[in-house]
């Protein structure tokens, strides 16, 4: 879909907007479906912080919009990545709407091996460009009718550049491992035989060092609030290890 720089906030507000995901709290953007250009029958996704708290928009919301916009622009033309269409103002971005079935709707063992392999290649291609998605939950991975994979919800994506150095390189490696772990979890659920040794190691360890540290802090806070999730995490990790041992 071609990009349009002509969509202003005033024009956007004249468009019929169909709610797709209402913002659950002040830290989330509202997401809508719209037709742009008018009468083109082309659907686009509008992500908008405009109705959020002003302080959050100024402190973080506009930064999130800029980061997502820059990341999608950096990946322009890559298969499996929605096109960046327009940026009406600092609080909003408009991107290509992509149709497909979320991976979380597939029963265990039913996601085709070709889709898993395609997903792995797509994630590798992102990393080769210095980009991490950062939120590859199953609901953010779509499978089209022809089997094509598309990744959506790039709010946590980051563009580190093709040659990150120092602390930037460390964070890139951490987020890259997070993406790889998401792919490995899907392979373990649907086709364990496809797991590489690196993916097996990531699952066995439970993720990157930073990821494990953050999880420990979150679990500690959860216990203080009376919600002990450590047992749940240990159970999930044990299940992955059982799959790995069974497939060995």
In the chain, where the domains are located: 9-96, 101-247
Which pLDDT value is given to residue 212?
A: 57
Say what the pTM is. Answer: 0.82
pLDDT 10s digits, 193-240? 999 999 999 998 876 665 555 555 555 656 666 555 556 666 666 666
User: What kind of fold does domain 101-247 have according to CATH?
Assistant: Transferase(Phosphotransferase); domain 1 (1.10.510)
How many residues appear in the chain?
248
Quote the crossing angle between the two packed helices 166-190 and 113-128, to the nearest 10°: 180
Query: Contact, 181 vs 173, CB < 8 A?
Result: no
Query: Contact, 134 vs 178, CB < 8 A?
Result: yes
Query: 20 — phi, psi (to 5°)?
Result: -105, -50
Q: Pairing mode, if any, of strands 158-159 and 131-132?
A: antiparallel
Of 102, 105, 125, 121, residue with least CA distance to 113: 121
- The Cα–Cα gap between 17 and 34 comes to 5
Look up residue 79 and give its two tokens. Answer: 């298969």
Q: CA angle 194-72-119, nearest 5°? A: 10
Please provide the DSSP assignment of 34-45 as one string.
EESSTTS--EEE
Half-sphere exposure of 201 (CA within 13 A, CB side): 6
Look up residue 169 and give its two tokens. Answer: 């390189």
Which pLDDT value is given to residue 22?
A: 77
Instruction: Say which DSSP state 162 is in.
Output: S
Which pLDDT value is given to residue 115?
A: 97
Which pLDDT value is given to residue 211?
A: 58
A 10 A CB-CB count for 138 gives 15
Look up residue 143 and give its two tokens. Answer: 């499978």
pLDDT 10s digits, 121-174? 999 999 999 999 999 999 999 999 999 999 999 999 999 988 889 999 999 999
Q: Is it true that 9-96 and 101-247 share their CATH fold? A: no
Tokens 């912080």, residue?
49
Which pLDDT value is given to residue 69?
A: 96
Question: 9-96: CATH homologous superfamily?
Answer: Phosphorylase Kinase; domain 1 (3.30.200.20)
Please determine, for residue 1, whether its predicted confidence score (pLDDT) is greater than 90: no
pLDDT 10s digits, 73-106? 999 999 999 999 999 999 999 999 999 999 999 9
Look up residue 194 and give its two tokens. Answer: 């496809």
């Amino acid at each position: 879909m071609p990009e349009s720089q002509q969509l202003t906030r005033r024009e956007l507000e004249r468009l019929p907007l169909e709610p797709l995901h209402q913002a659950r709290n002040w830290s989330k953007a509202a997401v809508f479906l719209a037709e742009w250009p008018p009468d083109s029958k082309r659907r686009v996704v509008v992500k908008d912080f405009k109705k959020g708290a002003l302080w959050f928009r100024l402190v973080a919301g506009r930064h999130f919009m800029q980061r997502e916009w820059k990341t999608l622009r950096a990946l322009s033309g890559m298969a499996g990545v929605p096109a960046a269409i327009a940026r009406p103002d600092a609080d909003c971005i408009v991107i290509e709407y992509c149709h497909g079935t979320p991976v979380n709707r597939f029963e265990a063992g039913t996601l085709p091996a070709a889709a898993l392999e395609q997903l792995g290649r797509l994630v590798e291609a992102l990393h080769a460009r210095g980009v991490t998605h950062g939120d590859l939950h199953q609901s953010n991975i779509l499978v089209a009718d022809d089997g094509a994979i598309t990744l959506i919800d790039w709010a946590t994506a980051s563009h580190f550049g093709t040659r990150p150095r120092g602390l930037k390189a460390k964070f890139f490696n951490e987020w890259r491992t997070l993406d790889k772990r998401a792919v490995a979890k899907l392979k373990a659920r649907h086709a364990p035989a496809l797991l590489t040794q690196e993916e097996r190691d990531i699952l066995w360890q439970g993720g990157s060092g930073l990821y494990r540290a953050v999880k420990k802090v979150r679990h500690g806070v959860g216990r203080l609030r009376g919600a002990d999730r450590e047992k749940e995490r240990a159970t999930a990790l044990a299940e992955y290890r059982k799959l790995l041992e069974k497939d060995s």
